[in-house]
Structure 1
Amino acid sequence: MQQLYITIALAALTVIGLGLTSGILQRLPLSAPLLALGVGVAVGPMGLGWLRPETWGSPYVILQEAARVTLAISVMGVALRIPPARLPALARAILLLLGPGLLLMWAISAGLAWLALGLAPLMALLLGATLAPTDPVVAASIVTGALAEDRLPQDSRIILSMESGANDGLAYLLVMLPLLLITEGQAAGLSRFVTHTIPVGVILAVGLGAALGAATALGLRYSEYLGWVTQSSILGVTVALSLLALGAAHAVQSDGILAAFAAGLAFNALVDRQAEMEDENVQEAIAKLFTLPVLVLTGTLLPWQDWVAEGWPLLIFALAVLLLRRPLTLLLLAPVMRLARRDAVFFGWFGPMGVAAIYYALHARDALQEPRLWVMASAVVALSVLLHGMTGSPGAYLYGPSRKSGEED
């Protein structure tokens, strides 16, 4: 029990400390996710030893469920940041990233796992699937805040936000396909994928989430019309909607992350824009409240000794994933997406991995009872948080001049 309260206190101190220095951090090559991960390493078994995961009973289960809740709240925040009126104009770029782009990143990551780590093809596909999605939690530190609003065009931020929110749910398909083929055999696994994973895991999740989001938005508008809603009650609606979509989807064995994102999009499309923007602010604050503690927990559970045991092939794999998975994908897609060279380079580098990869890797680890999946995925995630965290602010400065002069996005 003492470890629980020590964990809560350290996580709270991390949130407070990073909140008090957020303005300074935007001017430094350091991101809040990177520092939160560093805090976890510092207070964990490899550092001061204040947090001892081995005494928690099931630390990986705790981290997996914390990551699931964090993702649900984060993708809701992403959905609320997206102006619905801009989506038609950006649909081409977004759909290419969510379709061919996601599949290419999966294939590249899987191919690197097969070549560098010597994994069997299905295991390589599974590891590649956990690393395919762009993380909304780490990406938020790049596309939100005063620096991003000042330096990055609105459309660029919308594209990255939309991609990071949607592909976390779509990655469910990529993870479940090799996982079912491994656990149930090729014929039975493929049959279950077609008859259950697609209709129940994905289609039902989208429909359920959209219905919950629409009902909540319409209910909120009606309550506002009757004068029943106070300012404080409006601010909590979307946080509760995140958890409602997550819980309802889990109850029907559907994907809660995709349901939460669909709920956010439906809510955003139907609610009054001014009220929605106020909800966005609280959603971002709540998302940070969950995100940073999850990364602290991740820092305490990083398998340093297992990384050393894997040796150079793991380091080569992690570097190759960061240097090839997304940059190569954007190099191939940029002409079709009609991206300028500057945007292609920016999008190609800033596709970080984080809480989404943590969640899917732990899900696969639990399903197969294969600890090595976590060892390999966590190495890539840690390196991504490090390198993307150090280059986020410089990248925004290098992207272009300040936009405060009144340029239109």
Structure 2
Amino acid sequence: MNLSIDLSPDPYILILTGAGLLIALVAWLPLALRRLPLSLPIVCIAIGVAVFSLPQVTLAPLPMSYPEITERLSEFVVIIALMGAGLKLDRIFSFARWAITWRLIAITMPLSILAITAIAGWWIGVSWSIALLLGAALAPTDPVLAADVQVGPPKSGEEDDVRFGLTSEAGMNDGFAFPFVHLAIALAAAAASGEAWFAEWFTYNVLWEIVVGIGAGYLIGRLFGWLTFHVPAKMKLAKTGDGLIALSATFVSYGASEIIHCYGFLAVFVTALTFRHAHRDHEFQLEMHELTEQIERIAMMVLLLLFGGALVNGLLAPLEWIDVAAALVILLVVRPVAGMVALVGHHAHWREKFLLAFFGIRGVGSVYYLAYGLNHMENVEGGDRLWAFVGLVILLSILMHGMTVTPVMRELDRSNGRDPDADETTPPPGLQGPAKI
């Protein structure tokens, strides 16, 4: 009797093993990279390149091959990051206290969209509707990959003007960039049909979706804040100590806002701000933030592993030399100049202004906006080159910002009189001891 033993591993077992290693990396890598001029996204992409270079891995995770999956996966990562960003902001919302944010949103982002649109239309040679789509996709600061330049956990004291400005900008600009994505879609449709577009775009995609998105986010944040902190003692959700409620608020806010056709990204961030304001000093805020941060890191690592896989499977192959030059100009000229223009007259040291202008990291949000735009346009030519161009900008941004962020932000902490290594052994102020109900 012949007994044959199959020694090849079950794919399911391989997936479980890989998931375990991924989660271990999520927990360990931030500690290992704390003092190195290297960021977690760089390591994730390198691992993705290594894994998808193996001959046994036949999947080619190119975004043009999986347009719907690309849109939905990047969408999921962004909304989790937006909730985390809103929950960790200590600064109370007001127009005066958020002056940096308004400058970056109202001046830097429109100038960046205009400049990138001009570069894409005149240099790269795409149609003006596609050029505008690229401008809207590449102008916003990414809330996912900018974790190293954002504020620390709630009540940690890590909220200088640079970190606050970049965090609040990343939270706000994803919602305010969406009208320009819709404008690009409207212009493309109008070019094909000749129909009027301005009135519908302005009243619906600008006024309705922004105003109602803010309102929906505020109401949902108030509801979750009341359920968590202000209902009778025995029914307070904060009493459970279960940070999953933040994930629930994220999904409800995004889902409800999309059901009524308004900007879900904006609604989620407003929900997070309102939720945080419901009880700013409660220790449960830290538990909610920690859970969202863990989920965000896992989802981000999965997406960046796939991005690394796309790189080794020819994502950048359609690029031309003019595309490389345009990408460098966008990162080294457009964002820094637009950022510095917005901060003219702002009372801050020139070094802080430069950091605010320089660290406009591009990433997952750009993936989502390009995927959304291409999925809602008809007969777009040269989609492979568009993905190659956006992929190149993201890759260069991750490398350039990732290798400079650690030493630069540590030096910023020292110049502000803060020891960048102090929180390695000391818990954040106000978070010692058990939660109080």
User: Does the pair score TM above 0.5?
Assistant: yes
Per the alignment, residue 263 of structure 1 pairs with: 271
CA distance in 2, matches of 1:106, 1:177: 12
- TM-fit CA distance, 1:362: 1.0
Per the alignment, residue 345 of structure 1 pairs with: 354
| Secondary structure of residue in 1 paired with 2:97 | helix
Per the alignment, residue 224 of structure 2 pairs with: 216
Counterpart amino acid of residue 130 in structure 2: M
Deviations, residues 174-229 of structure 1 (Å, cap 9, x unaligned):
21112211123475332321232124432222211111111110122233634554
Q: Is it true that 1:319 corresponds to 2:314 in the alignment?
A: no
C-alpha distance 395-7 of structure 1, shift in aligned 2 (>3 A): farther
Counterpart amino acid of residue 325 in structure 2: I
Q: Mean alpha-carbon deviation: is it higher for 320-329 or for 303-312?
A: 303-312
CA distance in 1, matches of 2:312, 2:259: 32
Matches within 5 A, 1:197-346: 197-223=205-231, 225-229=233-237, 231-274=239-282, 275-302=284-311, 305=314, 307-346=316-355
Per the alignment, residue 124 of structure 1 pairs with: 131
Per the alignment, residue 160 of structure 1 pairs with: 166
Return the match for 2:406 from 366, 383, 393.
393
Counterpart amino acid of residue 395 in structure 2: A
Q: Indicate the structure (1 or 2) with the bigger Cα radius of gyration.
A: 2
CA distance in 2, matches of 1:104, 1:6: 47
Return the match for 1:184 from 165, 190, 206.
190
- Whether the 8 Å CA contact 1:204–1:254 is kept in 2: the answer is yes
Return the match for 2:180 from 169, 174, 193.
174
Q: Is it true that 1:34 corresponds to 2:56 in the alignment?
A: no
Gaps of 5+ in 1: none
| Secondary structure of residue in 1 paired with 2:348 | coil
| Secondary structure of residue in 1 paired with 2:21 | helix
CA distance in 1, matches of 2:14, 2:63: 12
RMSD: 2.8
- Whether the 8 Å CA contact 1:74–1:287 is kept in 2: the answer is yes
- Whether the 8 Å CA contact 1:3–1:51 is kept in 2: the answer is no
C-alpha distance 306-281 of structure 1, shift in aligned 2 (>3 A): closer
| Secondary structure of residue in 1 paired with 2:345 | helix
Per the alignment, residue 404 of structure 1 pairs with: 419
C-alpha distance 4-124 of structure 1, shift in aligned 2 (>3 A): farther
Q: Mean alpha-carbon deviation: is it higher for 302-311 or for 90-99?
A: 302-311
Counterpart amino acid of residue 265 in structure 2: I
Q: Is it true that 1:141 corresponds to 2:148 in the alignment?
A: yes
Q: Is it true that 1:79 corresponds to 2:86 in the alignment?
A: yes
Gaps of 5+ in 2: 1-9, 423-437
CA distance in 2, matches of 1:230, 1:268: 12
- Whether the 8 Å CA contact 2:245–2:288 is kept in 1: the answer is yes
> Between Structure 1 and Structure 2, which shows a larger proportion of helix residues?
1
Counterpart amino acid of residue 42 in structure 2: L
- TM-fit CA distance, 1:117: 0.9
TM-score, normalised to structure 1, is 0.88
Per the alignment, residue 122 of structure 2 pairs with: 115
- Whether the 8 Å CA contact 1:79–1:268 is kept in 2: the answer is yes
| Secondary structure of residue in 2 paired with 1:138 | coil
- TM-fit CA distance, 1:9: 5.1
CA distance in 1, matches of 2:75, 2:348: 33
